[in-house]
Chains A and B, each alone.
Chain A
């Protein structure tokens, strides 16, 4: 499946910015959502999910919370929880609305109280299938399960944008990691669409486990590119289960936006994504 999101006028999809799972919001992830919407003339829907579990928890007499900026535990504010969560959501929505407004991007905001993933699946299914999900919080340690579940549950999406804890850059080359010949064309098409919006140069990062695989992939890529001098080719050898070499290549190219396939050498469906996500300095669009 190629990375795609429906145009705003089509009413068949949008960039869904998924928020509310934690107190953190990634500015880079929000920027990436805006960038995608701008590139595809799509609209952004920021979906703030009030986790139903939290409201279940507040009934317990021992329910407490602690935050990284506070000392010690405090009782879960039973009486004020609705209000507190409401204002956190409202503040985020306002920030995103302002960003969309500045970039002339169609925007809508929605707040729901539900299981976060179920709410996301519902939002995407309402207008599908050309949705793109942007995870609005930093993609940190132990999020592999969440991503796996997202791809399994949220069928109405063509891809998911993540921004790691170190992500800070959105300007720079668009780097697409390609590990299969049949992906060369769709990936190139996606990067060229993104290039139109940013003007950044495009790099196809060929990924393989063996030198022979890479050489063959590179040959096919050169055939496909022909005399297209706007695209740069680079290649990197990756050990199965360790995509830190891809992270290194992205850093070296000072990538502003990256694309990779879910369930391969770069982003294995099983196993840790940490070698890549921890060193990621730009948003990464993970396509199915």
Chain B
């Protein structure tokens, strides 16, 4: 469904007295005051009509009830309300209207009201997946729980950085480790030494040389010379050679057992280490796991973390900040690159009482929308590590509202396409068009897509929306609601009164001094001039606000508590002189 802009004919047929904003409370004297001020020339097209300040019915804007809503934008506001409330795919909103028409403020105001009433969306956290595929998995938490999870997780790792070195430094561990070393590591040496002693009695030596182990005939502890050896009877020489061959076979057998013994030693040590580390890890992780037992995926993730912690307990031994047994240094693993594998990256965190988020992204680059990955510097002495996954506007706005500018999307067509895909697929998938991660050498880590449910509001003038539709026609299908903001309102006694309240609202919003009736009248006349003098009033709220602020400045400079018509006139005249704006209005 599209909300089309009301055509001119519709407007002309409209009753002049019909209030533009039906929902606004109207002060009892408002219509009468407006009528009186405009009475002589209430007909449309009477561009020369001036507002009579004395007939506005107030001295200063301080007496007026400020306008709560923009005037003359009923259809746009209805469209906004429909778009905000409408469920279903594609009911995103295009807000069309000229800059300064108050479209952004009006939309924000409507969105805020809706956002506060809605239930806060889920939190999301990326954690490293400890499976063979690697990458990161997304964990979904109830609103407000992600930060708590990350804090407790970080504390748990810090606790282990303290507990594991203590466990591995304990005497009982040392004794058990030494026993294993004794059993396996020295088995070969023991066997060789026993053999050495035994064969020494037979005048055979086992020599250890840089070239390896050799077996040699000896006499009085020294290797005999070849001449001496050759001088003995051949039978004896044969006997010695046979003995040497036997010893060599024994040496070889001992050495051949070494790899198996080494493997067994490693396995036993690994088993011991896993027992020692496992006890500490379970003590910390099990308690942690219990706290988040109801959150899907957390239990299996923490089990995987526990397995990894046990396997990599050595990381913690190197990080020990202990200085001596009795004095402990608090350990923080947060800045240590070795522990980035245990870091949780908060992608969306909300408060359970805040409603849904409203996020305005004025610079929708890929990184700003879809997030970015930050790596450790390549020169940190280790392979680059992912130190942070930073959320984008889509993560922050997920479950709520995302506000974008059409012109900014036009400037980044690749991003606009990726953005459309995300809306179509209903998920945030990290697949940047260019390498955003530098030190990893272009390898994009696999981040599990996060389900996306966001209401997008795109602001722009008609031309900008047309251009956006041209660069990515598919995007238009996803914006089924159009809120068209008018740039002018027909002038009538009632709209003049509403205009006065609009000015009162701006004065209040910007914390300005009250503006007297003469000043208000001059601003309304200026709005008529801006609208082209055809019985309309310009709705350029931004322009109006600028005039009010500048007039307030001059009133303040002169030490007045009320901004007067003279201040407004000065502003208009100076703008004319400075910027060439029309200021063909003199005080009534």
A residues near B, CB below 8 A? 20-23, 51, 53-54, 56-57, 59-60, 62-68, 70, 72-74, 76-77, 81, 84-85, 88-89, 115, 140-142, 165-166, 248, 251-252, 254, 278-279
Determine whether B207 belongs to the interface, using a CB cutoff of 8 Å to chain A.
yes
**Chain A proximity of B91: nearest CB distance (Å):** 67
- A67, B241: Cβ atoms closer than 8 Å: no
- In the complex, besides A53-B222, A68-B255, 18 extra interface pairs with C-beta distance below 8 angstroms are A51-B207, A51-B209, A54-B207, A56-B223, A59-B226, A65-B214, A66-B248, A67-B211, A67-B212, A68-B258, A76-B211, A141-B189, A141-B190, A142-B189, A142-B193, A165-B189, A254-B169, A278-B181
Q: Is the interface of A mostly helix, strand, loop or mixed?
A: loop
Contact partners of A77 in chain B: CB under 8 A: 211
Q: A164 CA to B177 CA in the complex, in Å? A: 16
Query: Is B43 part of the contact surface with A, judged by Cβ < 8 Å?
Result: no
B185 part of interface (Cβ distance < 8 Å):
yes
Q: How distant is the Cα of A77 from the Cα of B214 in the complex, in angstroms?
A: 12
CA distance A179 to B244 in the complex (A): 45
**For the complex, what is the distance from the CA of A67 to the CA of B197, rounded to whole Å?**
20
The CA of A279 and the CA of B181, in the complex, are separated in Å by 9
Expressed in whole angstroms, the Cα–Cα distance for A66 and B251 within the complex equals: 9
B201 to chain A, nearest CB (A): 15
Chain A residue contacts of B2, Cβ below 8 A: none
Report if B301 contacts A (CB, 8 A).
Answer: no
Give complex CA distance A70, B226 in Å: 27
Residue of A nearest to B197 (CB): A142
B336 in the interface, Cβ–Cβ < 8 Å? Answer: no
Task: Say yes or no: B216 contacts A66, CB within 8 Å.
Answer: no
Cα distance A166–B178 when bound, in Å?
10
B216 in contact with A85 (CB, 8 Å): no
A63-B216, A140-B189 known; A53-B211 Cβ under 8 A: no
A88 x B189 contact (CB < 8 A): no
Residues of A within 8 A of B169 (CB): 254
Given contacts A66-B248, A66-B252, contact A84 B211 (CB under 8 A): yes
Q: Which of B178-199 contact A (CB under 8 A)?
A: 178, 181-182, 185-186, 189-190, 192-193, 196-197
A77 vs B226: C-alpha distance when bound (angstroms): 16
Is residue B225 within 8 Å, beta carbon to beta carbon, of the partner chain? yes
Within 227-242 of B, Cβ neighbours of A (below 8 Å) are at 229, 241
> Which chain A residue lies CB-closest to B227?
A59
* Chain A residues, CB < 8 A from B189: 140-142, 165
Nearest Cβ on chain A to B255's Cβ, whole angstroms: 6
| A21 lies within 8 A of B208 (CB) | yes
Is A165 in contact with B214, judged by CB distance below 8 angstroms?
Answer: no
Q: Count the B residues whose beta carbon is within 8 Å of the partner chain — how many?
A: 41
List of B residues within 8 angstroms of A67 by Cβ: 211-213
Across the interface, which residues of A come within 8 angstroms of B252, CB to CB? 66, 72-73
Residues of A within 8 A of B214 (CB): 54, 57, 63-66, 76
Q: In the bound complex, do residue B241 and residue A248 qualify as a contact, i.e. CB atoms below 8 Å apart? A: no
Is B435 part of the contact surface with A, judged by Cβ < 8 Å? no
Q: How far is the CA of A51 from the CA of B205 in the complex (A)?
A: 14
CA distance A149 to B169 in the complex (A): 37
Is B229 touching A66 in the complex (CB atoms < 8 A)?
A: no
CB neighbours of B210 from chain A (8 A): 20, 22-23, 84-85, 88-89
**Cα distance A20–B215 in the bound complex, in angstroms:** 18
- What are the residues of chain B within 8 A of A88 when measuring CB–CB? 210-211
Specify which chain B residues have a CB less than 8 angstroms from the CB of A81 in the assembled complex: 211
Q: Which residues of the partner chain A approach B181 to less than 8 Å between Cβ atoms?
A: 166, 278
Q: Determine if B290 is an interface residue (Cβ-Cβ < 8 Å).
A: no
Contact assessment for B186 and A65 in the assembled complex, using a CB-CB cutoff below 8 Å: no
Q: Name the A residues within 8 Å of B211 (CB-CB).
A: 23, 54, 65, 67, 76-77, 81, 84-85, 88
Residue B171 at the chain A interface, CB threshold 8 Å: yes
Measured CB to CB, the closest approach of chain B to A201, in angstroms, equals 8
- With both chains docked as a complex, state the minimum distance between the C-beta of B420 and any C-beta of chain A, in angstroms: 59
Query: Known: A62-B244, A279-B178. Is A23-B226 also a contact (CB below 8 A)?
Result: no
Residues of B with C-beta under 8 A to A57: 207, 214, 216, 223
Q: B472 at the A/B interface (Cβ < 8 Å)?
A: no
Q: Which A residues touch B63, using CB under 8 A?
A: none
Contact A165/B226 with A72-B252, A252-B174 known, Cβ cut-off 8 Å: no
Chain A residues lying within 8 Å of B197, measured Cβ to Cβ, are 142
**Least Cβ–Cβ distance between B368 and chain A, in angstroms:** 48
Give chain B nearest CB distance to A240 CB in angstroms. 21
Is the Cβ of B174 less than 8 Å from the Cβ of A56?
no
Q: How far is the CB of B248 from chain A (nearest CB, A)?
A: 6
A66-B212, A67-B212 known; A60+B226 contact, CB < 8 A: yes
Min C-beta distance of A174 to chain B, whole Å:
15
Tell me the residues in window 442-499 of chain B with beta carbons closer than 8 Å to chain A beta carbons. none
- Known pairs A66-B212, A166-B181; A141 contacts B248 (CB<8 A): no
A70 pairs with B244, CB closer than 8 A: no
Shortest CB distance A247–B (Å): 8
A40 vs B225: C-alpha distance in the bound complex, in angstroms?
Answer: 43
Query: CB within 8 Å of A: which of B152-189?
Result: 169, 171, 174-175, 178, 181-182, 185-186, 189
A128 to B178, CA, bound (A): 39
Chosen A-B contacts, 20 in total, with CB atoms closer than 8 Å, are A20-B210, A53-B205, A54-B214, A59-B225, A60-B216, A62-B241, A63-B214, A64-B214, A65-B212, A66-B251, A77-B211, A81-B211, A85-B210, A89-B210, A115-B222, A141-B186, A141-B193, A165-B186, A166-B181, A251-B171
In the assembled complex, the Cα of A140 lies from the Cα of B187 at a distance in Å of 11
Q: What residues of B have a CB within 8 angstroms of the CB of A166 in the complex?
A: 181, 185
Which residue of chain B has its CB nearest to the CB of A25?
Answer: B210
B208 to A22, Cβ gap below 8 A? yes
Q: How far is the CB of B131 from chain A (nearest CB, A)?
A: 34
Distance between A243 CB and nearest chain B CB, rounded to angstroms? 14
Q: Of all chain B residues, which has the CB nearest A115?
A: B222
Shortest CB–CB separation between residue B332 and chain A, in angstroms?
A: 23
Inter-chain CA distance A66–B178, complex, in Å, is 29
Q: How far is the CA of A54 from the CA of B209 in the complex (A)?
A: 7
Are A23 and B212 neighbours in the complex by a CB distance under 8 Å? yes
Given the known inter-chain contacts A59-B225, A165-B186, please indicate yes or no for A65 contacting B178, CB distance below 8 A.
Answer: no
